[in-house]
Structure 1
Amino acid sequence: MIQSMTAFARRDTHVTGATLVWELKSVNHRYLEVTPRLPEAFRELDGPLRELCRKHLNRGKVEVGLRYQLDSGDTDIVIDDALVTQFGAAMDRINELLGPTSAVNPADILRLPGVMQTREADFAPLMAPALALLDETLAVLVETRAREGAALKQLLEDRLDGVLVQVSRTRAALPRIQDALRQRLVKRVEDVIANPDQDRLEQELVMLAQKMDVAEELDRLEAHVTEVRRALGQGGHVGRRLDFLMQELNREANTLASKSIDTETTQAAVELKVLIEQMREQIQNIE
């Protein structure tokens, strides 16, 4: 099966203390290029993330984004109960000595050194679940790419059918085309006999002889179509192979156009080039 390089996948999960969400987006690219978008707390996943991407993917520009939401926030406020008790006792003693006018607001105690501290959340337990979820998300991305690849394959098959239709029509017209060429050749010989010019005769004979037969180009077009279909059937990482075959098909279509002496063959060559260009554009998305 072939895979498109254009796809999107999203997976989320809730683990103890947090919700994790991975979003992956891939587009076509000559090689595999991974762009992680990780929160600072998950920076250590950069290496394992790239390794997982290489495990699942061969080509494509892939953006890998992680979002998270902690159940209790990124930090906790911790009160030192023992220290508060000590400060409270000290304040009570001050009140006894100075009288009620010196009463202290509890908020003042919270501002005293060491009474209130913040404790950062522990992200270490989230690393393994995050990687496991990424593995699942990459599998979903591959499935999506495969579905897109199946659609691309069908599109290419339809265009290949179109190529064979043009080849068949041109081949069927060969006897008429060759007869027209023979008539032109006879006329040119008659013209030269009337007005001898040996060099010019040789040049025109060579040119007409080259145009006499396009069967070789038609045969090669059919052979390339067979190769494209073989590559599509094999599946795997065939994008570069298919791109090369499109170049070969285009070369034969150009040769056919250059040999054309009638509108029907010219039109067939134009249709071939349109079909080939449509396939080439889609093949850029195939891994």
Structure 2
Amino acid sequence: MPVYSMTGYASAQHSSATNSPESESKSTANRRLGIEIRSVNSRFLDLSFRLPDELRSHEPALREKVMAQLKRGKVEVRAAIESSGSNTLPDPSPRLMQRVNSLQDSVKAWLPQAAPLSVADVIRLASNEQAPAHDWAEDVLPLADTVLKALVAARQREGDRLATMLVGHLKQLRSLAAKALPLVPQLVEQQRQRFIERWKEAMALADGATLPEAAQDRALTEATAFAIRIDVAEELTRLHSHLDEMENILKKGGEVGKRLDFLIQELHREANTMGSKSAALELTRISVDMKVLIEQMREQVQNVE
């Protein structure tokens, strides 16, 4: 199963033509339905719809379709209906002219001060007459399916790119961990020798009240305690375990964003602990490089569904 991003965009249009039955010119009104869906990252599925009044009744069905395809993300569904006619200016029908004239006389009978209708008013009424309401029931849902299919494909392409980037970062983290592993025994042995040398110097300056064997045992004990404090073997083991789990999750695919986000936090914790235990500049640099890579991964994982 592929990995999906929460970022994507898709749109599609559908056109229909209607003829005005009352128009003598038989002008054709072309109406175009457009749907676009855009999504960005979000912790949950957050849906919003911007639909014209003619499509409000279809919102529950559209919501159901989106929820069946998408599980996470801030998703905005927009729809618009545009009208255009074959004639620039429609010709009012005689029946419309008679009705408008009758209505105007009735209004003036009650409101003598009312302004008469202008030519622009009549043309606008004629446009409404020649563009009757169209039933989009048979068009809106199939068009939404088309847009959703394109959106899912776009999210999959982006998800593939994110997965490839994450796998590359995992390899870099493994490489850094491999560099850190042999440093710990070297540091422990160096510190052990340093403790012994310091105790020997202290014994040379002492008055002999403390036995040399006891002093050497004390030095070895301090060196052992230091070795325990700087040993990052457990952190490296857990880090490798988290890296293996992330690779398995990416191979499995599906809804993996939340699990990846949790593992990113664990990786950061191990890298941070390594830095706090560091007793050498090289190990500190490795820890810093790890945290930089992990932070880059965190930013990208926020976009994974």
Q: Report if TM-score (shorter chain) is over 0.5.
A: yes
**Counterpart position of 1:5:** 6
- Aligned partners of 2:97, 2:10: CA distance in 1, in Å? 51
- Aligned partners of 1:81, 1:16: CA distance in 2, in Å? 22
- Aligned partners of 1:233, 1:72: CA distance in 2, in Å? 53
**Counterpart position of 2:71:** 58
3-state secondary structure, aligned to 1:125: coil
**Counterpart position of 1:245:** 263
- Aligned partners of 1:50, 1:128: CA distance in 2, in Å? 17
Structure-2 change in CA distance of 1:19 and 1:182 (3 Å): same
2:36 is aligned with 1:36: no
Does the 8 Å contact 2:41/2:303 carry over to 1?
Answer: yes
RMSD: 3.3
2:224 is aligned with 1:214: no
3-state secondary structure, aligned to 2:43: coil
3-state secondary structure, aligned to 2:66: helix
Show the 5 A alignment for 1:94-133. 119=129, 121-123=131-133, 125-133=135-143
Where structure 2 has 5 or more consecutive residues not aligned to the other structure, the ranges are 19-30, 103-116
Give, in angstroms, the shift of residue 119 of structure 1: 4.3
3-state secondary structure, aligned to 2:163: helix
**Counterpart position of 2:303:** 285
Does the 8 Å contact 1:210/1:259 carry over to 2?
Answer: no
Does the 8 Å contact 1:35/1:64 carry over to 2?
Answer: yes
Structure-2 change in CA distance of 1:58 and 1:262 (3 Å): same
- Aligned partners of 2:199, 2:5: CA distance in 1, in Å? 57
**Counterpart position of 2:254:** 236
- Give the alignment's TM-score, normalised by structure 1: 0.78
Range with greater deviation from structure 2 (10-19 or 203-212) = 203-212
Does the 8 Å contact 1:77/1:118 carry over to 2?
Answer: no
Show the 5 A alignment for 1:1-287. 1-17=2-18, 18-72=31-85, 79-80=94-95, 119=129, 121-123=131-133, 125-187=135-197, 189-190=199-200, 208-287=226-305
Count of aligned pairs: 257
Q: Which amino acid aligns with 2:153?
A: E
Structure-2 change in CA distance of 1:178 and 1:76 (3 Å): farther
Q: CA deviation digits over 1:154-181, x for unaligned, max 9? A: 1101111110010000113233222223
Give, in angstroms, the shift of residue 14 of structure 1: 1.7
- Aligned partners of 1:212, 1:118: CA distance in 2, in Å? 81
Give, in angstroms, the shift of residue 130 of structure 1: 1.3
Does the 8 Å contact 1:2/1:149 carry over to 2?
Answer: yes
Structure-2 change in CA distance of 1:22 and 1:159 (3 Å): same
Where structure 1 has 5 or more consecutive residues not aligned to the other structure, the ranges are 88-106
Give, in angstroms, the shift of residue 76 of structure 1: 9.8
**Counterpart position of 2:26:** none
Does the 8 Å contact 1:224/1:248 carry over to 2?
Answer: yes
Give, in angstroms, the shift of residue 202 of structure 1: 11
- Aligned partners of 2:175, 2:279: CA distance in 1, in Å? 20
- Give the alignment's TM-score, normalised by structure 2: 0.74
Q: Which amino acid aligns with 1:150?
A: D
- Aligned partners of 2:179, 2:96: CA distance in 1, in Å? 93
- Aligned partners of 2:127, 2:297: CA distance in 1, in Å? 64
Does the 8 Å contact 1:76/1:121 carry over to 2?
Answer: no
Structure-2 change in CA distance of 1:192 and 1:253 (3 Å): farther
Does the 8 Å contact 1:231/1:238 carry over to 2?
Answer: yes
